[in-house]
Amino acid sequence: MITEFLFDWSLATVSMFNTIVLFWLGLTVLLNADKRTWSVWLAASGLLLGGVFFLCHTATLDYSLEALLLGITSWWYLSWLSVIALPLGWYVLMLSYAGFWESRQSALYQRQSPLLLLNVFLALVLMAIVVRVDPTVLLHQVTTSLSKSVLPLRGVSLILVLFPFFLLLCLVLSIDALYRPGPTSRMMGDIARRRARPWLLASSLVQLVISLLVMGTLLWIVLDSQLGQINTVFNSMLIVVNILDFIITLLIATAVILLGKAIVSYEIFTGKTLPRSGFLRQWRSIVILAAAYSILVSLSWAIPKLRLVYPLLLTTVLTSIFYAIFSWRSYVEREDYMARLRPFVRSQHLYEHLLTHSSGVDDPPSAPELNALTPFRALCEDVLGAQVAYLVALGPLAPLVGPALTYPPGIEAPLVALNELIAQFNSPRAMCVELDASRYSNAVWAVPLWSERGLIGVLFLGEKRDGGLYTQEEMEIARASGERLIDTQASAAMAQRLMGLQRQRLAESQLLDRRTRRILHDDILPCLHTTMLTLSQHAPAGSPHADALTQMADVHRQISNLLHEMPTTTAPAVARLGLVGALRQTVNEELNHAFDEVSWQIDPPAEQHAQAIPSLTAEVLFYAAREAMRNAARYGRGDNTHQPLHLRVSIAWNGCSPRQCLELVVEDNGVGLEAASPANGGSGHGLALHSTMMAVVGGSLATESVPGQFTRVVLTLPQESW
């Protein structure tokens, strides 16, 4: 009696668990899919159909065998429709996931096309036989004896022989499709397949074991039914069939858990490559809820002579408890999310740092960099749980941001194969790219960082400390945080340098004003006053010199009035002569004797596009190029003043690249930046200033130097910047 009670309780628990989980998985796949394609509908329908099947299975546990046989007409067709459609649907779903319909030239399509047609044909044959068999006649033969009319039993025997073969074929072919998939057009589809494959294979293997058990059971029934009356056979096999029913139901629950793990952890049917942490938490919650609910409700159901009101009250209490736990966990997760968000939203005190650290144009943005380390460490350590991470700035913002941020601090960023990696970032829609850890300093993921001007950086991430996978939310947070950190550092550095530039110009203006005042007050005005006194002693009133004295007095007065005024400036040469003409004038006049040879390589398309550059942008480009020329003339020879020095100036238009741009190169064959002597070498402040100004107008300044061979300054100005 106790054994029978425990058996009924366990069978009802597992069956009810399968019902809850399958319904949740089916609705989750359908509601959370990016695009509800036919494969999504097939997956959701299969899961929901499985839920309906176990809903009916759970309901039948409350009926006796006689009551079930009386209603055989209603459940005969529904049951066989489910058990035939589910294996075929699983097979078609695995074909879709493996890329069967991606290309007809693939090996998967060529290999499985005829077998798919065979499975569809077997399913249609089985359904036709099920429809032809009259369940009432079958019931009569089962309850009496073997009939002379052999058509119904022949049909049942054919079903019992064909169905195991059909079931086994569907599952074996599903495993073959998972082991040897075809091509995929989904972004990072190979990664998703590789990571979800163990769970899907495990689920398919469990279903294969189930199919073998079903095959053995059905063949056993067919063989034993030939030995005598069917009702006698059924009475002897009833206990064995019930045990097999429990084992198969338990195996199906295992397969459902494996399938659910693949769905929520790798989003195999929702169209997303990376999992979402919300799915994982909800999956754990629904498994716990389904297990607890099934155990308690089936227990109240299995207790004999228990009034119906008690299971209903138990269901009400369980619903309240689980909803309270769900609300509590939601609040805890929100608090944890806010705690992890605080390092990113709190003030970095950039204003104070700009005021206290902008003493000059060349001051490095030390304060913003120090502030960036705190949120970057919080991102890598608390939010992502990464073992290693590198934040590398690219494009026009790279000179402003400075060296890469690393976690842990002190390790070297993977900059060797960076250009090869950048070529893979074709669109902002690409969330991340998988990397070879041996080539990228233990980084396994590269997250591209974008802005309105294009690619601005890359965030390299290593494996997680717990060995898990990054979720969709974690990748999105990492991307947004990396973009914000680069923007913050670049903005702080640009503001700091511009403030330093303004302070420098104010200082120069004050110095020029004081110098002008000193020269006018101490030199010119006293000299003019002495001349006036000398002339006044030798020039009586009414003489011609008296008019000259009057004019000199007026000049003296005008100069005195101008002591507080700034000197006027002439119009920049680039506005009158154009970019190329202004550069040639600089070389011919200012740097006439600085170089032994000057070569010009000006592409006609580049010169035409240079004329279309706005005046302000052209001035910034001209002054940056002039600074490079002056540096070459001043520091190119180093200590050897007799060394031949050649200058090459080239302007080219890169119109075939994805970003059309004007490229201006100033190159000399001097000693190089590092080989310049400390006495003659510059501080690099000028290039830092012009790098900032180029970034302001949307361009970039890059320097290359090999000691003893060359120094090259490359100015790039994209067309969209003007």
* Rounded Cα distance, 282 and 288, in Å: 10
Helix (H) or strand (E) holding 372: helix 366-378
Is residue 485 domain-shared with residue 560, that is, in the same domain? no
Is residue 510 domain-shared with residue 493, that is, in the same domain? no
Whether 315 is in a domain gets the answer no
Is residue 675 domain-shared with residue 696, that is, in the same domain? yes
Contacts 24+ apart (CB under 8 A), 409-416: 409/373, 411/441, 412/441, 413/441, 413/460, 414/390, 414/439, 414/440, 414/441, 414/443, 414/460
Of 501, 518, 544, at which residue does a domain stop?
A: 501
Range of the domain at 383: 350-501
Residue 651: predicted pLDDT: 92
The CATH number of the domain where 587 resides is what? 3.30.565.10
Tally the domains of the chain: 4
Whether 538 is in a domain gets the answer yes
* Rounded Cα distance, 309 and 317, in Å: 12
Within 8 A by CB and 6+ apart from 439, the residues are 414, 416, 417
Is residue 34 domain-shared with residue 162, that is, in the same domain? yes
Within 8 A by CB and 6+ apart from 204, the residues are 90, 94, 171, 174, 175, 178
Q: What is the DSSP string of 208-250?
A: HHHHHHHHHHHHHHHHHTTSS-HHHHHHHHHHHHHHHHHHHHH
Residue 524: predicted pLDDT: 76
Is residue 484 domain-shared with residue 509, that is, in the same domain? no
Residue 135: predicted pLDDT: 66
Residue 600: predicted pLDDT: 92
* Rounded Cα distance, 8 and 28, in Å: 30
Within 8 A by CB and 6+ apart from 630, the residues are 591
Smallest CA-to-CA distance from 267 within 255, 253, 252, 282 is with: 282
Tokens 């495990």 appear where?
202
Is residue 526 domain-shared with residue 417, that is, in the same domain? no
Residue 708: predicted pLDDT: 84
pTM for the whole structure: 0.57
Residue 364: predicted pLDDT: 43
* Rounded Cα distance, 157 and 219, in Å: 9
Of 238, 259, 276, at which residue does a domain stop?
A: 276
Whether 656 is in a domain gets the answer yes
Of 525, 541, 564, at which residue does a domain stop?
A: 564
> In this structure, which amino acid lies at residue 286?
I
Q: List 633's β-bridge partners, or say none.
A: none
Whether 334 is in a domain gets the answer no
Whether 480 is in a domain gets the answer yes
* Rounded Cα distance, 377 and 405, in Å: 9
Q: How many residues make up the chain in this entry? A: 722
Cβ(570)–Cβ(519) below 8 Å: no
Residue 649: predicted pLDDT: 93
Residue 146: predicted pLDDT: 43
Is residue 547 domain-shared with residue 488, that is, in the same domain? no
**Average pLDDT, 10 consecutive residues per value, the chain (722 residues):** 74 90 88 76 84 83 62 66 81 82 82 90 87 66 47 60 84 87 65 75 83 72 56 60 83 88 72 61 85 85 73 81 81 75 66 52 44 80 85 84 85 77 79 82 87 86 78 82 86 77 65 65 72 68 66 74 51 74 88 88 89 83 90 85 89 75 91 62 69 79 88 88 70
Within 8 A by CB and 6+ apart from 1, the residues are none
Residue 152: predicted pLDDT: 45
Is residue 414 domain-shared with residue 533, that is, in the same domain? no
* Rounded Cα distance, 162 and 155, in Å: 10
Q: How far is CA 249 from the centre of its chain?
A: 40
Report in angstroms the alpha-carbon separations of 525 from 545, 564, 601: 19, 14, 51
Write out the two tokens for 717. 């100005």
Residue 191: predicted pLDDT: 65
Whether 332 is in a domain gets the answer no
Whether 271 is in a domain gets the answer yes
Show the 3-state SS of 598-631.
EEEEECHHHHHHHHCCCHHHHHHHHHHHHHHHHH
Whether 43 is in a domain gets the answer yes
Is residue 541 domain-shared with residue 592, that is, in the same domain? no
- Computed on alpha carbons and rounded to an integer, the radius of gyration of the chain in Å comes to 42
* Rounded Cα distance, 126 and 118, in Å: 12
The CATH number of the domain where 382 resides is what? 3.30.450
Indicate the burial class of 6 (C-beta count within 10 angstroms; 0-12, 13-18, 19 or more): exposed
Is residue 407 domain-shared with residue 511, that is, in the same domain? no
Is residue 104 domain-shared with residue 52, that is, in the same domain? yes
Is residue 92 domain-shared with residue 23, that is, in the same domain? yes
